[in-house]
Structures are given as C-alpha cells and as structure tokens.
Structure 1
Amino acid sequence: MKNYKALVVVTNHSSFENSKAEPTGLWLSELTHFYDELDKEGIHIDIVSPKGGKVPIDGRSLGRFTLDKATKKRYEDREFMALLEDTKPLSSVDWRDFDILYFAGGHGAMWDFSGNGELHTLTRKMYEDGKIVSAVCHGVAALQNVRLSNGDYLIKGRKGTGFPYFDEAIAGVKSLVPYNLEKTLKDRGMVYSKALFPLMGHAVVDGRLITGQNPNSTTKTAKAVLQVMDNS
C-alpha cells in the first residue's frame, strides 16, 4: 500500500462558544490511532485543517483515563506534534492526489466541519471519484451536509454511525454542543447504528463510506479503511 496517500482533516475550532468559552478542539487519539494504523502500512499521510495553522487539542483527550499509551507516545513525539503547529489549509489541497479522506473528531469539528462548503465539495469529488471517505465520532459532522451531484445527501440511505447524543451527557457537554449530531445524521437519511453500550467501539462500513462512533472506534475504522483499500 506504499503508493497510497491519505488526507486527514482536523479541526481549527477551539471553543464551545458558551459564555465561558470552554475549550475544545481535536480529540488527539482520533488522529493518532488512525495515523498509526496507516503509517504501519507505509501510506503517506497529510494532515490539514479548514483554515490551516495551529490545531487546538482538547485537554480532556489528554487526561489520565483518556490518554492511552499509543497516543501518549505520539503526544511526546515533538516531530509528530509539530505537524499540528502549522497545518496547511484545506484550500491548498488537490483532492486528486489522495486515495483516502478521513475526518478526525473532537467537539470542535461540530463547528468548522459542518458548514464548510469547500470541505463538502472536496468530499463529494473524492467520493464520486471512487475514493474512500471515512470519519470518526464528531468528525462525522463533516458528512452531514455533503450533497452528491444528483442533489442527494451523501449519507442518504447509507449505513453509518457517529457520536450518540446520549453520550454527550456522559461526556458532560450535552448543554454545550450546538446541535444533536445523531438526530441530524438520521434526518439526512443515514441508516444510523450504535454500539450496545456507551463508549464501546463501533465502526460501520458501507462500501467506500466508513464511519466510527467514538474515540474507541478509531482503530477499528482505520483497519476497515485498510481492508476496503486492499480489496479495491
């Protein structure tokens, strides 16, 4: 798979936009776990963001119970973390250069992924050209408003998943999120599913559309991407 290239999109958005401007951003493991799986296979990976520049890291993803060993290793890797200090903007990307598109999550993605027309156009072009489109957790917000050339939502009638609304309460941010992602996905026609228990790993493959439910689903999602790529 060494000739394949993956485009990974991460958020620039750093606040819940409430009165206290509580911080959010990228959930780090949703980047690192995906990156690690593809990196093992020698796939070239470019990390970009909607606006470019520095990527905010959600501090909760660096906590005692959330920062796993593999992510900690990347977090302590200065060379890797430097990739997030000055990312290229989405506008600099030629979608034709890539075989895989992946949207990492973190609550920040609910803002700058959902209404970004440039991002939606790139997603449509890559999907309609036969490339893999994947996302995890709140990164799935990138897909909710993407329309295909025929006017249908990309996710209409497609099996998929994303962060459940019930779990926002578990995360302690139900009153802070700007909308109910699960409901929006269903309203757009996604055949939505989730794991039996909260925070369990769950990934869904529907052809070249691959989605994961939460941070614990990232490795599963990455492995599913590799399997689909291997079979294509």
Structure 2
Amino acid sequence: MSAPKVLVVLTSHDKLGDIGKPTGCPNSPHPYDVLHSASVSLTVASPSGGRSAVDPSSIDAAKDDAISINFLKSEATKPLFESTRPLSDFVGNPSAIAPYSAIFFPGGHGPMFDLSVSLESQQLVREFWDAGKVVAAVCHGPAALVNVELKDGSKLLQGHKVTGFTNEEEEQVGLTKAMPFLLEDKLKEAIGTEGGFEKADAPWGEKVVVDAGGRLITGQNPASAKGVGEAILRIITARV
C-alpha cells in the first residue's frame, strides 16, 4: 500500500500591499510534522514556482517552539520553500493530481494577495473537489477558496461551515488596512446564508472545522495549524 500524498500550495507573494512589509508563508511546521511523521508524501507548489518566502514575523513568533525551530533549520525542509513547483504543472492535468489525496493551503498573509485571485489556483481547487479529494486551509490560507466556483457557477464554500483568520485577529496584528479585503468578511460572503462562519471563543484560540463529510477542512489561525494537519491525516488515511 503506497503512502498517501498531499499537494501543499504556498504563496508567491512576499510584500504586504502598499506598506512593503515582508510576508510569506508560516503555519507550515506543525502540519508538516504531523504529516511527515506519518509518512505522508508532500509536494509543494506555488503560483510562480521556485522560491516561496517565509514570513519573518512567523520566524520570530516561533522562536520558542521546538518543532518550528527544527523545521526552519533542517536541511531536509529547505527544498520545500526554495524549489516549489509551479501550479501550471498540475492545472488541467488529471494524471498529475491523481496521486494526491488532498490539497492544502497553509497561512501567511501572502495568499490574500495572490492565491485569492489566481485563476490557476481556483481551477486546481475545483479539480481536486470534483475528483472527490480533500481541500484544506488554515489561517489566511482559506483566502484561496473564497472565489472558487464550481461547474454550476455556485461558490465552493456556499452552504458550508468554515473558519479562517478573523477580523478581530487582523485588527490585533495591526494589518487591517494593509489587506486587500478582510478574510472573515469574504468567507461569510462566499458561505451565504445557509452556511456558517465558526471561530474560537476568544481570538487566537484553536478552531478547526471539518465539513462536507471530511472533504473541507479549515483552521482559524496559527494555533489551529496542528489540528488541521491532524484532521487531514485522519481523513486521508481513512480513505486509503
């Protein structure tokens, strides 16, 4: 029996709007640790391919976290960020996505700028969904899902329960005005009246939402990243 595979999609965007603050893709160490420890095979892609920047603020925030420190210092994980594959390698290519059980969008503010509007990313999510695979995202990663439409023209998230980085959390990090939109607002818009945006009882609390029979997994913030990794692992291994 072959090990399950997950396609991880990172941002190619490395600056925050007009303020020029460096950004990138945090929230990867704990899901990586969960999945890699269970022998799940990971392939990393991004809109442009090549290097995907790591958010400097996430490095500072994780300075006391052993898993994050090991992840950032390990020679084995460097290729994950330095040599991502372009999304064009997978879009419109059923044989390329066939080996994968899930697609996963980690967080960072970058996805708010590129993955949210990338037509290639949207098509790839739709192809995974149409193939019955798992779609997962955490923190700002759900930005990649807000504009995805299905073949019938409906929103992917319509009628579902989801979570993501909240307006209150964005305000607390002082980046509300730097964002092209507020993720919580866009998620609520995509969900519509029949779904539901869920969040932890307090900002920065862990919240993981699993919906659509396990096919849609979202996490609210960095504290939810490990839980999202665990949910992905639980569901894809049950399907093998």
Give the TM-score normalised by structure 1: 0.94
**Does structure 1 residue 177 correspond to structure 2 residue 194?**
no
**Does structure 1 residue 194 correspond to structure 2 residue 196?**
no
Residue in 2 that maps onto 1:60: 57
Matched-pair identity in %: 37
Q: 1:33: how far off?
A: 1.1
Among candidates 89, 113, 116, match of residue 114 of structure 1: 116
**One-letter amino acid matched to 1:199:** W
Among candidates 97, 100, 116, match of residue 98 of structure 1: 100
- Structure-2 separation of matches of 1:129 and 1:66: 39
Residue in 2 that maps onto 1:147: 149
- Structure-2 separation of matches of 1:110 and 1:44: 27
Q: 1:64: how far off?
A: 4.9
Structure 1 pair 11–64 and aligned structure 2 pair: CA distance change class (3 A):
closer
- Structure-1 separation of matches of 2:144 and 2:133: 16
Matched residue of 1:227: which SS?
Answer: helix
2:4–2:236 CA contact under 8 A, matched in 1 = no
Matched residue of 1:78: which SS?
Answer: coil
2:13–2:111 CA contact under 8 A, matched in 1 = yes
1:6-53, Cα deviation, whole Å (9 max, x unpaired): 0000111011121x41111111xx112111111111111001111101
Equivalent runs, 1:63-102 vs 2, <5 Å? 63-64=60-61, 68-93=65-90, 94-102=96-104
Q: 1:67: how far off?
A: 5.4
Residue in 2 that maps onto 1:209: 216
User: Structure 1: any 5+ residue segments left out of the alignment?
Assistant: none
1:2–1:43 CA contact under 8 A, matched in 2 = no
User: Structure 2: any 5+ residue segments left out of the alignment?
Assistant: 91-95
- Structure-1 separation of matches of 2:123 and 2:173: 31
Among candidates 11, 32, 36, match of residue 35 of structure 1: 32
Q: 1:82: how far off?
A: 2.9
Residue in 2 that maps onto 1:24: 23
Q: 1:65: how far off?
A: 5.4
Residue in 1 that maps onto 2:93: none
Structure 1 pair 214–64 and aligned structure 2 pair: CA distance change class (3 A):
closer
- Structure-1 separation of matches of 2:64 and 2:166: 21
1:113-158, Cα deviation, whole Å (9 max, x unpaired): 1111111111111111111110001010000011111111010000
- Structure-2 separation of matches of 1:67 and 1:13: 26
2:25–2:109 CA contact under 8 A, matched in 1 = yes
Structure 1 pair 66–180 and aligned structure 2 pair: CA distance change class (3 A):
farther
Matched residue of 2:6: which SS?
Answer: strand
Aligned length in residues: 229
**One-letter amino acid matched to 1:25:** G
1:12–1:50 CA contact under 8 A, matched in 2 = yes
2:63–2:69 CA contact under 8 A, matched in 1 = no
Q: 1:2: how far off?
A: 4.5
2:62–2:68 CA contact under 8 A, matched in 1 = no
Give the TM-score normalised by structure 2: 0.91
1:210–1:225 CA contact under 8 A, matched in 2 = yes
**One-letter amino acid matched to 1:23:** P
1:186-225, Cα deviation, whole Å (9 max, x unpaired): 0112511100011011000002100000011011111111
1:60–1:66 CA contact under 8 A, matched in 2 = no
